[in-house]
Chain A
């Protein structure tokens, strides 16, 4: 069966520090991968999505970046965090091989920037 892992689950970082959130998927190949963010009390905002290794589409210009070094690995990074980067970050994968292309989400990474 397919599983999706995100880590770390929780982190507290000072303003100006770097960030790296990692997401891996098991049990499938060539998935579409997504990063979403949810600020406190707000809706889900699509940040990046990837349809293959090295292919990244950015939905919102900001100080975050994403990379997909391997087929089932998706990384969200920042060189210098801002206070506004605080939020709940969710990775998701979509199975392009099935008819439904349902998105399955990870458990999320909660980031607090101080």
Chain B
């Protein structure tokens, strides 16, 4: 699986949009971008994933650049409960047995 690069930490004011970047310049054509987050002392939680089109669900939006070498996770209205470590993971097609390999992620602090 391709490697990803994320900033170690970010701050965001409560109520504002949180934009979390991820670089994956070596991504190959059959690799998807997944985002998970881990709130302190809990297991990771799936947020969203995509291949090349932008995706949106009830939690977040995922914007993937046209060349697919980077992406941005957007939390439109961050709340204090969104404080967590956010992981960007690139892996081969969703179906199959490839396990998720977590990097260091970005520690997002939402500030009141």
Contacts and interface: CB of A to CB of B under 8 A. Distances in A.
Given A88-B41, A96-B95, A99-B95, A46 B46 contact: no
A92 interface: yes
B94 A34 contact: no
Contacts of A43: 102-105
Contact of B45 (A36, A51, A105): A105
Contacts of B41: 88, 108, 110
Interface string A76-106: 0000000000001010100010111111111
A98 B95 CA distance: 7
B43 interface: yes
Interface string B9-48: 0000000000000000000000000001010011111100
A80 B14 CA distance: 47
Nearest to B94: A101
9 contacts: A43-B104, A43-B105, A44-B38, A46-B99, A101-B94, A101-B95, A103-B46, A106-B43, A108-B42
Size category of the A interface is 20 to 34
A102 B46 contact: yes
Interface in A9-46: 32, 34, 36, 43-44, 46
Contacts of B100: 34, 46, 103
Interface of B: 36, 38, 41-46, 49, 94-97, 99-105
A113 interface: no
A99 B103 CA distance: 23
Instruction: Please provide the 10 A-B residue pairs with the shortest distance between their CB atoms, ordered closest to farther.
Output: A105-B43, A44-B102, A101-B94, A102-B46, A49-B99, A51-B97, A100-B94, A90-B43, A105-B44, A43-B104
A107 interface: yes
Contacts of B36: 103
Nearest to A92: B43
B77 to A, nearest CB: 24
Contacts of B104: 43
A34 B99 CA distance: 8
Nearest to A91: B43
Given A43-B105, A92-B43, A107-B43, A101 B96 contact: yes
